[in-house]
Amino acid sequence: MKILLINDLIANVEIISDTLKAAGYNDLFSVSTLDQALKYIGTSLDSDTPVDLILLDLDIHDTNGIGALLTIKSHRTFEDIPIIALTANKESGILDRAFAAGASDYIVTPICPIELRARVRSALQLRREMLKRMFREQELEHLARRLERMTNLDGLTGIANRRCFDDTLVREWVRNGRDDRPIGLLMIDIDHFKKYNDSLGHVVGDTCLCSVARAIQAATHRPGDLVARYGGEEFAIILPNTDYEGACSVAEAIHTNLAKCNLHHPCSHETESVTVSIGVSSGVPNCSNSPEHLLKAADNALYLAKQSGRNRTKS
């Protein structure tokens, strides 16, 4: 653990260094002015191991000790670093002001080595516990973010999963219904994907699913649009505040993007590349319809697109 000593009395510096080094605290850095201290703090802000404890002499001659304390504590990275205040005069009310300014402990000079060791040990112990707690909190935040991703994203393609789709559809249904706005819905299914897998294998099939997901994603532009993997080789898009015409233009963009990708399909006689069929529906949410109606309409349209030759959009 790193200790910074801010003190301009050579005698004190020597006794503190000797005592702490004898106690095994070897990472000790000593400065004699606040400017030097701030410079040191500034450089250790960039380092992995910033200061863990500051010993600050309040009677330092070039500055007011309480002001120095406040200046150090005003650095955001250093607000959590314990500061032990040193003073020759504990009767003057300076200790009250030191604690109010953020000191965590004090030592009256001349220094008693036994007291110094005990107070430093205790301050560093608290610092260690605080670092452990901070680390655990960071771990927990990291886990919470991972869990959130796992709950809402599809593991293969990285786009939203079915659960996220279902939740979003209900939310958008309520929101767009309140504003009397239409929701557009697209159901997208890869054509002859079973044959693709059968001839190229599942691993290549998985890669293809990722490429198709990207091509679909690239066809949407508004922040509220949600592209999801609905299941197997089916995708779905929720387009808030979008009518039939708008939804059909997104479908067209998907066909165009996929054609540009030109993913070779060994068993597709018509295009020789991977294509999709798309069903489109759109409607203003009201009490005589439901998200299920909208889904059913898009699904029926998708069936029609398959029946009438695939690689096309029906609504």
Q: Which stretch binds Mg ion (CB under 5 A): 29-37, 54-62, 191-199, 283-291?
A: 191-199
Q: Site map for Mg ion, 208-247, x if CB under 5 A?
A: -------------------------xx-------------
Q: What, of ligand GH3, Mg ion, none, does residue 214 touch, CB below 5 to 8 Å by kind? A: none
Give the count of beta carbons closer than 10 Å to the beta carbon of residue 269. 7
Sign of torsion over alpha carbons 202, 226, 283, 312: negative
Q: Of 233 and 299, which CB lies nearer to ligand GH3 in the complex structure?
A: 233
Q: What, of ligand GH3, Mg ion, none, does residue 128 touch, CB below 5 to 8 Å by kind? A: none
Q: Which of 189, 225, 239, 265 binds Mg ion (CB under 5 A)?
A: 189
To ligand GH3, the closest distance from the beta carbon of 230 in angstroms equals: 11
Q: Which stretch binds Mg ion (CB under 5 A): 159-167, 187-195, 213-221, 242-250?
A: 187-195
Q: Which residues contact 77 (CB under 8 A, 6 or more apart)?
A: 45, 50
To ligand GH3, the closest distance from the beta carbon of 102 in angstroms equals: 57
To ligand GH3, the closest distance from the beta carbon of 164 in angstroms equals: 17
- Single out the residue of 34, 38, 41, 44 nearest to residue 7, CA to CA: 34
Q: What are phi and psi of 131, to 5 degrees?
A: -60, -40
Q: What, of ligand GH3, Mg ion, none, does residue 197 touch, CB below 5 to 8 Å by kind? A: ligand GH3
| Helices 162-178 and 113-152: angle between axes, nearest 10 degrees | 80
In angstroms, the Cα distances linking 150 to 36, 146, 147, 211, 226 are 48, 6, 5, 21, 17
To ligand GH3, the closest distance from the beta carbon of 197 in angstroms equals: 4
Helix, strand and coil content of the chain, in percent to the nearest 5, comes to: 50, 20, 30
To ligand GH3, the closest distance from the beta carbon of 253 in angstroms equals: 21
To ligand GH3, the closest distance from the beta carbon of 156 in angstroms equals: 6
Instruction: Judge contact between 86 and 57, C-beta under 8 A.
Output: yes
Tell me the sheet residues that pair with 282.
184
Residue 233 has, within 13 A of its CA and on its CB side, a CA count of 21
Q: Of 239 and 278, which CB lies nearer to ligand GH3 in the complex structure?
A: 278
CB closest to ligand GH3, residue no? 205
Q: How many residues comprise the chain?
A: 315
Binding site for ligand GH3 (CB under 6 A): 189-195, 197, 202, 205-206, 209, 232-233, 306, 310
To ligand GH3, the closest distance from the beta carbon of 162 in angstroms equals: 12
Q: Which residues bind Mg ion (CB under 5 A)?
A: 189-190, 193, 233-234
